[in-house]
Structure 1
Amino acid sequence: MRPSLPHPRKNIGRWATAALAATLSLAFAAPASSGGEEHSARSYEVTGPRTAAQRTAVAATGASVDAVRGGSVVITASRDQADRVRGMGYTVRALPGPPDRDDGRTATPFDFPPADANYHNYKEAMAEIDADVAAHPSLMSKQVIGKSHEGRDIIAVKITNSAKGAAPGGAAKPEVLFTHHQHAREHLTVEMALYLLKEFGSQYGKDARVTKMLDSRVIWVVPDVNPDGGEYDVATGTYRGWRKNRQPNSGSSSRGTDLNRNWNFKWGCCGGSSGSTGSETYRGAAPESAPEVKVVADFVRSRVVDGRQQIKAAIDFHTYSELVLWPFGWTYDDTAPGMTRDDRDTFAAIGKSMAASNGYTPEQSSDLYITDGSIDDWLWGTQKVFAYTFEMYPDASGSGGGFYPPDEVIARETARNREAVLQLLEAADCPYRAIGKEGQYCA
């Protein structure tokens, strides 16, 4: 479990705001290098940042903050960005690159290293999904909802017992969305999607809770939001540490947009993303400029029926740090325009309950550092979907392999989220029940 951290967003105060402004001015003093190399970034541990404001200033260099520890953070950064973090007075130590898992065997292009062969590349994942859909035609159907930049299918799998029509009282079934793999190197999240399909298909009619949820909910699983980036990450048969998508950036040799900074809510508003194409957190030329983001956003908007969004709750799966996060990411405040105290308390109550089931740490996203243009903020801010981010195994120490845990942990770490997923499905018809206000909000 990650050590508990101070939460400076509570009454941050004038002195903290001034300190943040001063540090941000240093962070933005020079533009991050756009980089002539395809991927010149590497991992560093930065010792010293302890508050959300300090971590936000580190991220403002254009580095991605990958894990938050008690008195340090792990970042992915170019040499230029790492030097700028050193200029803030912090100790910056280079970390080893991605693990070598060839296991003494020859690597196969566009596949995982031989020792991690139980991970699924894009082709294998799509075949697995097709087999699940074919095995459970009364429960599952697959839709191609759009294409990635390089033309790969982005799919959504619909899971429900269609023979069971409307919810009690004739209302439409509440819908729940699970998205995976916005960041290319976070391959365990695709395995999470495959686990959900297997679990829902195999346990329907056997497990009472699963059966009830498939009878009374519509579940959408988007297994791979960033297929191009994922394929690029293993294109050599080894790990490259790639994060973004693969679209070119006009006027730059640096490719890729950070998909989870490209959503059209508070995009680029608050120092929680980068305008530099070479940054790991490059927000893109405009909101939804990444085709993969627009595909999923259009799909979510298509679920507005008669003026009402049918998707009520969501989880976006990432790695790593073992966290359950909720909005907002763009502000340190608990409440803000579009987020009432009851909304916040509902998010926290459900989030803490899910975290109690999987052993993750629950907190508001901005307790870590500011992010803007993220999927959870967009889902809540524009669609009023109770949206969470799960940061999966390992914990923030990264001792379980960081972004590349060995394939031996797949079964354990995907099943670890079973109870949390069921809890969110059960809450979806009336999330405010978690704070005892179903009569006020769900009559």
Structure 2
Amino acid sequence: MRMLRSGKRTTTTAAAVLTLALALICGTQATAAPPPAAPGSDTAVRQYEVAGVATAPERTALTRTGTAIDEAGPGSVVITADAAQAERLRGLGYELTALTAPVERQALPRAAAPGDYHTYGETLAAVADAEARYPDLVSSQVIGRSHQGRDIVAVKISANVAVDEDEPEVLFTHNQHAREHLTVEMALYTLAELTAQYGTDAEITELLDSREVWLIPSVNPDGKVYDQESGSFRSWRKNRQPNSGSSAIGTDLNRNWAHQWGCCGGSSGSPSSDTYRGTAAESAPETGVVADFVRGRVIGGEQQITAHIDFHTYGELVLWPYGYTYADTAPGLTQDDADAFEALGTALADTNGYTPQQASDLYITDGSVDDWMWADQGIFSFTFEMYPTSSLGGGFYPPGSVIDRETSRNREAVLTLLDYADCAYRIIGKEAQYCAA
């Protein structure tokens, strides 16, 4: 296994992107002003700034109304809501101001059209093309199906790909939330970069010779199709699973995982909410498919997947467990674990200019993928919130012209995580204690 590098890896591209990022207005988890489609229904929605919401507890209190926070600034947040939801929040004492579209605020334009991004079908075609071009490096398999019957595909990338070798495995998941199409582009970038550079780039070659990489380009294909393929974006977040007894559609897949599900006010029990957690943990078929795949990587009693990134947009953040509690340590998360998460998360953020922090520093979430991956499977799991930092960069729908720049921006982070997949504790100098053969 590779030894810990001295110094941090930097690239000209990363430095240039960081400079650009610092020039943008700072914020986290933002959204562009959306076209028709609302949380839980199909009514018209828009973006609102909510004043006086500045701390993690204040943000958590807002999310406990069933509201999904899209962007968090130093003294306010941005949400997406329809008129009825906005009035309900005003009735609870929140001060809301409707925002105009980013282009009207003289900022970067939103994507010109849904065609700026690969469709679900085009994504599967790109996977098939990579498999045909690089049969010794790439294989794919259908690991299950969505509520509407679409294939959920896992792609394996490794030297000697046909053999299940005893090597550390790294999983990258994308598109849990339907409208976050840039994350699918991230999957296709990683697939293209690892395959095209194998045998040419010494680092990538060494990593693929000693690691197995898994990509799931779209965890939520039904939601992706619904959000993208009507001719205009719908700002849809959840899956497309009906809810018994309600006209509202969908479950928030990233509140549906089976660790501390529904425990702590970090999700909603209302089907109309964007953060609806479902009727039970893994009640959404897409969550169950990915969870079953991960559980299936336990071989001989040992989980083969050691590290994971779940890609989202947006906010330019690197987040780690736990999300369900403000505490730095909790059952199943020791001080050494927390130190390793922080050190590795900071190292990843050093490569792309994102902000590193524990997930609950934003607000409490429960039933999230990172918490489950770590607490249930012992996988060092991170969430990346990709470009932009705020709605001024296009929110969930940044222009297609930034796709290449913002996916390649994470190249070094991907390689860094692959490097540490043999032993994340190596980053705090405790590999002998935790990873000795």
Alignment TM-score > 0.5, same fold: yes
Alignment CA distance shift 1:326-1:66 (3 Å): same
TM-score of the two chains, using structure 1 as the length reference: 0.86
Match 1:226 to one of 214, 220, 226? 220
Equivalence map 1:12-161=2 (5 Å): 37-96=41-100, 115=113, 117-161=115-159
Contact 1:62 1:77 in 2 (8 A): no
Q: CA deviation at 1:166?
A: 8.7
Alignment CA distance shift 1:130-1:50 (3 Å): same
SS at match of 1:432: helix
- Residue 365 of structure 2 corresponds to residue 367 of structure 1: no
SS at match of 2:391: coil
SS at match of 1:389: strand
| CA deviation profile, 1:93-149 (whole Å, cap 9, x unmatched) | 12346989xxxxxxxxxxx97645341001111111100111100001000000011
CA distance in 2, matches of 1:436, 1:127: 43
Contact 2:249 2:271 in 1 (8 A): yes
SS at match of 1:123: helix
CA distance in 2, matches of 1:70, 1:333: 22
CA distance in 1, matches of 2:424, 2:292: 24
| CA deviation profile, 1:244-263 (whole Å, cap 9, x unmatched) | 00010000000000000000
SS at match of 1:391: strand
Q: CA deviation at 1:75?
A: 1.3
Contact 1:116 1:407 in 2 (8 A): no
Q: CA deviation at 1:66?
A: 1.1
CA distance in 2, matches of 1:233, 1:4: 24
Contact 2:320 2:357 in 1 (8 A): yes
Match of residue 424 from structure 2: 431
Match of residue 407 from structure 2: 414
What amino acid is aligned across from residue 359 of structure 1 in structure 2?
A: G
Contact 1:61 1:84 in 2 (8 A): no
| CA deviation profile, 1:286-326 (whole Å, cap 9, x unmatched) | 11010000000000000001111110000000000000000
Pairwise CA RMSD: 2.2
Q: CA deviation at 1:236?
A: 2.0
Alignment CA distance shift 1:432-1:59 (3 Å): same
Contact 1:44 1:76 in 2 (8 A): yes
Match of residue 9 from structure 1: none
Runs of at least 5 residues in structure 1 that lack an aligned partner in the other structure: 6-33, 101-111
Match 1:211 to one of 205, 208, 221? 205
| CA deviation profile, 1:368-415 (whole Å, cap 9, x unmatched) | 0000000000000100100000000001x2211000001000000000
TM-score of the two chains, using structure 2 as the length reference: 0.87
- Residue 370 of structure 2 corresponds to residue 376 of structure 1: yes
Alignment CA distance shift 1:97-1:251 (3 Å): farther
Q: CA deviation at 1:234?
A: 1.9
Match of residue 185 from structure 1: 179
Match of residue 434 from structure 2: 441
CA distance in 2, matches of 1:163, 1:184: 30
Match 2:193 to one of 174, 178, 199? 199
SS at match of 1:399: helix
SS at match of 2:388: strand
What amino acid is aligned across from residue 404 of structure 1 in structure 2?
A: Y
SS at match of 1:117: helix
CA distance in 1, matches of 2:249, 2:149: 16
Match 1:392 to one of 365, 386, 398? 386
Count of aligned pairs: 399
What amino acid is aligned across from residue 145 of structure 2 in structure 1?
A: K
Contact 2:136 2:162 in 1 (8 A): no
CA distance in 1, matches of 2:54, 2:345: 24
CA distance in 1, matches of 2:47, 2:176: 19
What amino acid is aligned across from residue 318 of structure 1 in structure 2?
A: H
What amino acid is aligned across from residue 153 of structure 1 in structure 2?
A: D
Q: CA deviation at 1:70?
A: 1.2
Contact 1:35 1:253 in 2 (8 A): no
Match of residue 27 from structure 1: none
Match of residue 314 from structure 2: 320
CA distance in 2, matches of 1:305, 1:36: 39
Alignment CA distance shift 1:412-1:113 (3 Å): closer
Runs of at least 5 residues in structure 2 that lack an aligned partner in the other structure: 1-21, 29-37, 105-109
| CA deviation profile, 1:411-435 (whole Å, cap 9, x unmatched) | 0000000000100000010100010
CA distance in 2, matches of 1:53, 1:296: 31
| CA deviation profile, 1:164-214 (whole Å, cap 9, x unmatched) | 9798xxxx2000000000001100000000000000110000111110111
Q: CA deviation at 1:3?
A: 5.2
Contact 1:38 1:255 in 2 (8 A): no
- Residue 238 of structure 2 corresponds to residue 244 of structure 1: yes
CA distance in 2, matches of 1:65, 1:231: 23
